[in-house]
Structure 1
Amino acid sequence: MNVLDAFLLTVVIVIAAKTVAWLLQWRSGNAGVVDAIWSWTLGGLAVVYALAGDAPAALRGLLAMMGGLWGLRLGSYIWRRNAGRPEDFRYRKFREAWGGRANVNMFWFFQFQNIFTLALSASAFLPVAYRDDLPSVPALVAALAIWLVSVGGESLADRQMKAFRADPANRGKVCRDGLWGWSRHPNYFFECVHWLAYVPLAIGAAWGGLSLVAPLVMAFLLMKLSGVPLLEAEMIRRKPGYADYVRTTSALLPLPARRSSTAVQD
């Protein structure tokens, strides 16, 4: 399949996936389902590009494995985490602000997200799926190492937060356990690192430079648009000690915590 046809196929897939997500939220009243479906869809696009491309079969298999397993793990974790819980406060605020047009606006909001889904998948997966040759051995090793560190680190951060929330004694407190004592958003950090894993695989490819777009897009989404700004504003408002956590702990890059400026015990 040529590049244009493959890209158009991904457009159809993401529109269909977000339509399914919209129908599910309409039925359940919980728009959080889109987060899991977004991850599954984006991981699935790695498989689509791998099947459609003309790179060596071994490289396309590696691409499908890396993107597919990443999306499967993250989407499944988000789905289990959100099951039976109230709607995320960000979607709830949108719903309240939109009133009677909430369901209609939610449809277009979900579809708007596809701009970023397509940008991430095309920039990270397309150059790898359509390169003419295999990357060098050091590039393959680097890609696998980055992928393992990123997926392993994000999984660890998720498990640490899950364990913290499961302890009733921690209700209302700020998690500083493990990686969360080094970064306020270690899961986001490793998510950005994950998109760097495809860069070594694209070095020397015809569209290799595109692979640098993906980690930049993800960092923008998480740090400037839908991740940190909305989440931290809410956490500071409702959770005692979070403002001090912001002052003492790095936002993204894991770094040693600074000395607390208050006597608050989190």
Structure 2
Amino acid sequence: MSRGASLLRVALAYVVAITVGLAWLVWGPDTAHLWLDGLIADLIATLVIFGFSRAYGNSSVYDAYWSVIPPLLAFYWWVAADAGVNDVRWWLMMTVLVAWAVRLTANWVRTFPGMHHEDWRYPMVRGRAGRFGIAADLLGIHVFPTLQVFAGLIPVYVVATRAGEPLGPLDIVAFVVGIAALALETVADLQMHRFLATAAPGQVMQSGVWSWSRHPNYVGECGIWLSMGLFGLAARPAAWWVLAGFATMLAMFLTVSIPMMERRSLERRPQYGEVIRRVSLFLPRPPRKAAAHT
């Protein structure tokens, strides 16, 4: 199947999923809690994507869900809460969130080669589950990331439903953190694309921002969710729990995603051991000097 036909299939899945989720919000039972309405619609749409993933035999159909749904949920909460259009905090936050979503989705579209390709981690997850592979596919590859991102959106919900709270210095910090994180992700992806276009098999990217962190894209991703948390904290200063989404996101990257990537790189790239000795795992810092050989 061609790349264009594959993208059309994925687009169809998302149109159906978003339509079904919206139908639930419009005609489904009212829980009297906007956050719960959003969560149920989010999970229903996830189940629709899971159905398409199984039908297509490719769980990478879900990959763009991470960035497509957050702005839609955010605007649903904002409209349903009748927050008005004059809340500066809301627009600062949404500038970061929408720019992040557009960039990440566009990057996925750019790098998705077609329906023949599936993220290498997904067969591993299903294989380790054995006869419970379908359950691992549903829960581990689809539902868990949906809940993870929803947790990251808790502060977005707080901002959407607390319009009119005065703007403060923390809002400026949140905006700067978000823009810096967006810039880091963008630069990291561009540098990696250029490297992959000419790199020989087994070569390791270790220049630019990748010389300061082995996973700068994940640093930027965590920065986006920290930015959302800080906006939520600015809107409701006593609500420390708005940072829970950022904390769980950071924990997921440090304990699951990064260790998997590290093991894969060590298996596939002979030079990666030297990169580990010189380049920071996560937080950017100047690289150590290469060890002298005698």
TM-score by length of 1: 0.85
Post-superposition CA distance 1:112-144 (Å, at most 9, x none) = 33332221111x212212225244253343332
Matches within 5 A, 1:5-24: 5-24=33-52
Kindly tell me: are residues 262 and 187 of structure 1, through their superposed partners in 2, closer, same or farther at Cα, counting changes over 3 Å?
Answer: farther
Tell me if structure 2 keeps the 8 A contact 1:56–1:134: no
| Corresponding position of 1:115 | 147
SS of 2:59's equivalent?
Answer: coil
Kindly tell me: are residues 137 and 90 of structure 1, through their superposed partners in 2, closer, same or farther at Cα, counting changes over 3 Å?
Answer: same
Distance, in Å, in 2 between the alignment partners of 1:69 and 1:51 is 20
State the AA in 1 paired with 2:241. Answer: L
| Corresponding position of 1:67 | 97
State the AA in 2 paired with 1:248. Answer: R
1:29 aligns with 2:57: yes
| Corresponding position of 1:88 | 119
Distance, in Å, in 1 between the alignment partners of 2:118 and 2:290 is 33
State the AA in 2 paired with 1:27. Answer: A
Post-superposition CA distance 1:32-73 (Å, at most 9, x none) = 222211221234322223223354533334444432332232
Structure 1 unaligned regions, length at least 5 = none
Range with greater deviation from structure 2 (209-218 or 60-69): 60-69
Q: CA deviation at 1:206?
A: 6.5
State the AA in 1 paired with 2:224. Answer: H
Distance, in Å, in 2 between the alignment partners of 1:53 and 1:142 is 26
SS of 1:57's equivalent?
Answer: coil
1:242 aligns with 2:272: yes
Q: Percent identity?
A: 27
Structure 2 unaligned regions, length at least 5 = 1-24
Distance, in Å, in 1 between the alignment partners of 2:166 and 2:268 is 49
Q: CA deviation at 1:219?
A: 0.7
Tell me if structure 2 keeps the 8 A contact 1:135–1:201: no
| Corresponding position of 2:169 | 138
State the AA in 1 paired with 2:144. Answer: F
What RMSD in Å do the two structures reach over aligned CA positions? 2.7
Post-superposition CA distance 1:219-262 (Å, at most 9, x none) = 1111112x101111111112111122122111111101112348
Distance, in Å, in 2 between the alignment partners of 1:140 and 1:113 is 27
Matches within 5 A, 1:87-236: 87-98=118-129, 101-109=132-140, 110-122=142-154, 124-167=155-198, 169-198=199-228, 199-200=230-231, 202-203=233-234, 205=236, 208-225=239-256, 227-236=257-266
Distance, in Å, in 2 between the alignment partners of 1:105 and 1:137 is 44
